Amino acid sequence: MQTYHNTALVFGSLKDALLNYEHVIPMNFTGQFMGLRPGTTGSIDKFKDPGMKDYHELGDAFGEPDQLLSLYPPSLAADPVFKVAVNMFDGFLFSYMVKTTLGEEVFDSYIKNLSRVVGSNAPANSDQLCPTAGGLQRLFGKLIADFKLSGVPVDCSGFSLAGSVENPLTNAITALQVPVIDTEKISFPQIMEFRRDGTTMKKMRNFRLFAYQQYAGKDKAFVEDDIQKRYDDYMEAVRASGFETTTKMLTSLISSKLLMGSLATSAAALLLGNTQLAFGAFGSGALLEIGKLSLQFAQQKQAIAAICRDNPVSYIAEAKDKLEG
């Protein structure tokens, strides 16, 4: 967490992640922005029509695709092997999503059409181009290990790993009913311009990092004051943006291993007494009020947690009265 505390591996909304992290690494880029989508009959649709706003906005904001590397941490942006590894994972993930959402027959047709689009003369082997959920987990785990990204937050807002067999219960800290910038109402160029204000962006980002902040040697009162200050600064930044807002939940998933180890002096452990008491609080769905902020500690079933293993997961979801198990 020390090296990449402001970096996120992004499976979900790139717009949301750009507001909450200094550096972002899109892991699910193809399906959202590359100008291709699987059709209902397995064909490859090129969606360059005016209705595909995100595709055109991305071009306006970044120009050539390689300019997205400017969003990476500098050391990784300069590593050509990392770019290849991310692109490979993205491609396998996209294939997996096509197969699990549209079925085997449609996936086979999709692969054949894709081969024609890219001008391949060799017959396509669909089995080699679509890993299992376990295969994706191993590939992601190797990428994390090879490039020392353990502990980097994984942002999966809006992302669901369809077809995953395991939906493990994972400890979740959720800030309820939080006003957030409505990224559905703003463009990529607007977000990139807003990111130029370093002071405001720091306030935006610091609030979301509280769940992973180390508070060694601090007491509960200090932690509460620090979180409240982060939240007040965050709200000031949201208001200063001038953008429309909506109300959502900000959730951080924390594995038991992290809670026992590197996060033993985190906000979760200190607010709830100690690590062992924290486990009980997650199981019972404890609710804490810190000023105007409501925090719920509970366990959720998250398919994405199986792929992300020990990396902390963060996401934004529609606001609800209570968490779903």
- For the stretch 222-275, pLDDT in tens is 989 999 999 999 999 999 999 999 999 888 877 666 555 555 567 777 777 666
> Are 52 and 78 in the same domain?
yes
Establish if 147 belongs to a structural domain: yes
Establish if 307 belongs to a structural domain: no
> Which of 155, 189, 217 is at the close of a domain?
155
pLDDT at 306: 74
Instruction: Quote the domain boundaries for residue 221.
Output: 169-301
> Are 180 and 293 in the same domain?
yes
pTM: 0.80
Angle at 198 between CA 195 and CA 202, to 5 degrees: 95
pLDDT at 46: 54
Establish if 255 belongs to a structural domain: yes
pLDDT mean across residues, the chain: 77
Establish if 317 belongs to a structural domain: no
Establish if 164 belongs to a structural domain: no
pLDDT at 19: 92
> Are 149 and 178 in the same domain?
no
pLDDT at 245: 95
> Are 15 and 149 in the same domain?
yes
SS3 290: strand
pLDDT at 303: 72
> Which carries the bigger pLDDT value, residue 172 or residue 159?
172
pLDDT at 82: 95
> Are 101 and 133 in the same domain?
yes
> Are 212 and 79 in the same domain?
no
> Which of 132, 155, 178 is at the close of a domain?
155
Spatial neighbors of 101 by CB under 8 A, at least 6 apart, are 162, 163
Establish if 183 belongs to a structural domain: yes
Distance CA 315, CA 82 (A): 24
Establish if 314 belongs to a structural domain: no
Most confident of 24-38, 166-180, 237-251, 263-277: 237-251
> Are 65 and 114 in the same domain?
yes
> Are 177 and 140 in the same domain?
no
CA-atom Rg of the chain in angstroms: 20
Find the DSSP H helices in the chain: 14-20, 29-33, 53-62, 74-77, 80-102, 104-117, 133-146, 188-194, 198-208, 220-241, 256-260, 267-271, 275-284, 304-308
> Are 21 and 146 in the same domain?
yes
Q: Taking the CA of residue 167 as centre, how many other CA atoms within 13 Å lie in the half-sphere pointing to its CB?
A: 11
Domain count within the chain = 2
The string of pLDDT tens digits covering residues 292-303 is 899 888 887 777
The string of pLDDT tens digits covering residues 87-117 is 889 888 888 777 776 677 777 777 777 666 6
> Are 234 and 100 in the same domain?
no
pLDDT at 256: 62
> Are 229 and 134 in the same domain?
no
When pLDDT is cut at 50, 70 and 90, the band that residue 33 belongs to is low
Establish if 323 belongs to a structural domain: no
> Which of 127, 155, 183 is at the close of a domain?
155
> Are 142 and 174 in the same domain?
no
